[in-house]
Amino acid sequence: MDSAREVSDGRLTVEGFSVASRAFADKWKIHNQSFPPWSWVPLINRTLLVSKKQEEGYLSLEKIIILSSLEEEIPEDESLNVATDCLEKEETVDHTILVPTMENEAHYYDFHIVYSASYKVPVLYFRGYCSGGEPLALDVIKKDVPSCSVSLLLESKWTFITQEEHPYLNRPWFKLHPCGTEDWIKLLSQSSSSSGCQMPIVLYLVSWFSVVGQVVGLRIPLEMLN
User: How many Å apart are CA 198 and CA 175, to the nearest integer?
Assistant: 28
The answer to whether residue 148 is catalytic is no
SS3 of 120-146: CEEEEEEEEEECCCCECCHHHHHHHCC
Residues in the chain, overall count: 226
Considering the candidates 86, 130, 148, 179, report the single residue annotated as catalytic: 179
Residue 43's Cα: distance from chain center in Å? Answer: 19
User: Letter for the amino acid at 186?
Assistant: K
3 state SS of 165: strand
HSE, side-chain direction, 13 A CA sphere, residue 40: 17
Q: What is 4-38 written as a DSSP string?
A: TPEESSS---HHHHHHHHHHHHHHHHHH-TTSPPP
CB-CB contact of 214 with 159 (8 Å)? no
Q: Please report the sign of the dihedral spanned by the C-alpha atoms of residue 95, residue 97, residue 102, residue 103.
A: negative
Q: List Cβ neighbours of 16 (8 Å cut-off, separation of 6 or more).
A: 1, 5, 201, 204
**Which amino acids are annotated catalytic?**
179
